[in-house]
Each structure stands twice: as C-alpha cells, then as structure tokens.
C-alpha cells in the first residue's frame, strides 16, 4: 500500500511532534502537521481537508460540511482519546467514514482527579495552602468522606471507577445513567447526594442537565464535581448558585468555553477548585492512547509500502 497523507491535529501528539513524525513515517505514511491552539474550528478544518487520507484528530469541529469536503480521500478519523462529541458521527456514518477512539482509557486517571477535587473541597486543602502562603495559619473544619453519599451522573468506565474509589473510602454511591440498570432520576440524585460528580459523555439530551432546577434540588452543603464536559453544566446558573451560597462548592476540570476567560467569575471564588481539562493526562493512560490511536489508524489505512517492520 502506498503512503497515505495523515493530518495530525490533536494536542497530545503535537506536543511530541518529533517523536510522532518518526512513528507515523515508520508506519509508511506522511504526517501533515498543523498549528493548533485548543482545536480546529470548522472553517480551519475546511481549509485542511480534501487531500488527506487519515486524520489523527483532537477536539476539532468535524461537521457534515467538513466530512463532505474531505471525501473521497478521507478513509478514517482516529480520534485521540475517548470523547467524540465534536464529531458529527451521524454524518460520518452516512458518508462511510469510520470514527475510532479509545473508550475507557482514562478511567483511572480521571477518577483520581475527581477524588482529588473532592478531597480538596471537603478538607479545604486548596484554601489552606493559599492562606499559609499568604502568611496565615487557618484551621477550617473539614468533613470526612466516610458515610457521605456520592451521586454519579454517568456510570460508564470513568463513572464506575470513581464509584469504586469512593466505596473504598466509605462513601455510599448512587448514579444516574439511562443505559445502566439501577439508574435513578437525576433530580432525585441531586436531592440525595452530598457530592454530585459528572462523568458522562456530552449528548444533546444532557447538555445543561445541571441547570438552575437541578442546582436548586442540591443540599446547601453539597459539592458539584465536573470531569465530563463543560456544557453538561449551565455555567451561569452554577455561578449564581455559588454566589448565593445555595451549594457549598465546585470542582471543575471542564468549562463551557475553554480556556477559561480571564474575567470568568469562577476564578474569584474560594470555594471552587479549577482544572485545565487535564484530568485524563496520566502518563500510563496517555501512552496507551497514543498506541491505540495509531493502531486505529493502521486498522483502516494499513501500513504504507515504506513501513518499517513491526
């Protein structure tokens, strides 16, 4: 098989361009490197497709018009990571372009970060650290985890792993997931949970699932943790709930707009722990996804005529 042209637009491989330039060429294919900030928007995608055979994609806005413009050459999209919500999968299926990802790869990494945010908030670890650095010596009373109830929105690979870790620490676990037996209504979960943790994929059905009505059902002492996708939460409603003290705090690794704007009010709130959409970035998980993404590419394109022996 002759060499294919492969567009590389995911941040993780771009961060190690020299390494993956060598690895893609060793597969017998020609990498096409582009500058990316967070992701490629639709307009930039339209400029780049049409003469590529494979795509090692990040969170690029791969819409139906982009897919149509990519044909007839595009044979596969190998998405780096697990989430494919930025890709019009219905259009890809209609047009015969397989979309392959790495489901479940980040379960441990993301679960660890979710637990870390919970501990930071329940034991005030972040605020104590900041106060000591500023010359203080505070002793706020924290809340142990044993006996508390964790409510999970999403009970797939990541959600179930968070639940495993939580049970090991003595928490009770309830969950909402319409695809898993034992699911409870999300508003009932909001009422019962001391900590609500979002670990679901983003879909049209759960966009802004956590809205003003959901937040109003949460106890005043409750925490919200989001390691899923930003748009699952109505951020304006969350900010209002935090300002008014209607929930106790939030740990957020993802946001409706990323990176977080300089004037976003969440940055001013002591009861909020902020992340940089980085919960998945564990060494073992990243290396596994690197390998699987290239495997997915080769599963469709094969190896080029100049490929090195595996």
Interhelix angle 157-168/107-122, nearest 10 degrees: 50
Decide if 277 is catalytic: yes
Residue 41 corresponds to which tokens in the numbers above? 């928007």
Decide if 64 is catalytic: no
Angstrom CA distances, 20 to 13, 53, 133, 280, stand at 6, 17, 41, 20
Q: Which of 16, 51, 258, 270 is catalytic?
A: 258
The answer for residues whose C-beta is within 8 angstroms of residue 19's C-beta and 6 or more apart is none
Decide if 229 is catalytic: yes
The answer for residues whose C-beta is within 8 angstroms of residue 246's C-beta and 6 or more apart is 215, 216, 218, 220
Q: Which of 176, 229, 235, 290 is catalytic?
A: 229
Residue 248 corresponds to which tokens in the numbers above? 């106790």
Buried b (16+ CB within 10 A) or exposed e, 184-208: eebeebbebbbbbbbbbbbeeebee
The answer for residues whose C-beta is within 8 angstroms of residue 24's C-beta and 6 or more apart is 6, 8, 30, 31, 294
Other beta carbons within 10 angstroms of residue 136's beta carbon come to 11
Active site residues per annotation: 229, 258, 277
């Amino acid at each position: 098989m002759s060499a294919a042209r492969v567009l590389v637009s995911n941040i993780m491989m771009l961060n190690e361009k020299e390494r993956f330039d060598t690895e893609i060429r060793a597969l017998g294919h020609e990498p096409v490197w582009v500058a990316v900030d967070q992701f490629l928007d639709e307009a930039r995608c339209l400029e780049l497709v049409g003469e590529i055979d494979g795509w090692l994609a990040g969170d690029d806005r791969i819409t139906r018009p982009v897919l149509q413009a990519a044909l007839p050459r595009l044979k596969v999209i190998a998405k780096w990571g697990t989430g494919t919500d930025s890709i019009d999968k219905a259009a890809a299926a209609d047009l015969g372009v397989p979309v392959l990802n790495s489901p479940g790869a980040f379960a441990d990494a993301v679960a660890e970060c979710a637990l870390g945010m919970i501990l930071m908030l329940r034991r005030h670890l972040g605020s104590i650290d900041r106060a000591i650095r500023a010359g203080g010596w505070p002793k706020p009373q924290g809340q142990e985890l044993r006996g508390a109830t964790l409510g999970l929105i999403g009970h797939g690979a990541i959600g179930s792993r968070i639940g495993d870790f939580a049970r090991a620490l003595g928490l009770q676990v309830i969950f909402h997931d319409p695809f898993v037996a034992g699911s409870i209504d999300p508003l009932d979960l909001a009422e019962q949970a001391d900590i609500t943790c979002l670990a679901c994929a983003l879909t049209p059905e759960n966009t802004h699932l956590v809205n003003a009505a959901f937040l109003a059902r949460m106890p005043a002492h409750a925490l919200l943790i989001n390691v899923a996708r930003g748009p699952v939460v109505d951020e304006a409603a969350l900010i209002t709930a935090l300002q008014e003290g209607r929930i106790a705090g939030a740990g957020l690794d993802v946001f409706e707009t990323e990176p977080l704007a300089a004037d976003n009010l969440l940055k001013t709130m002591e009861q909020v722990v902020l992340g940089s959409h980085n919960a998945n970035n564990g060494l073992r998980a990243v290396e596994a996804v690197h390998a699987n993404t290239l495997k997915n590419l080769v599963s469709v394109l094969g190896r080029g005529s100049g490929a090195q022996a595996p």
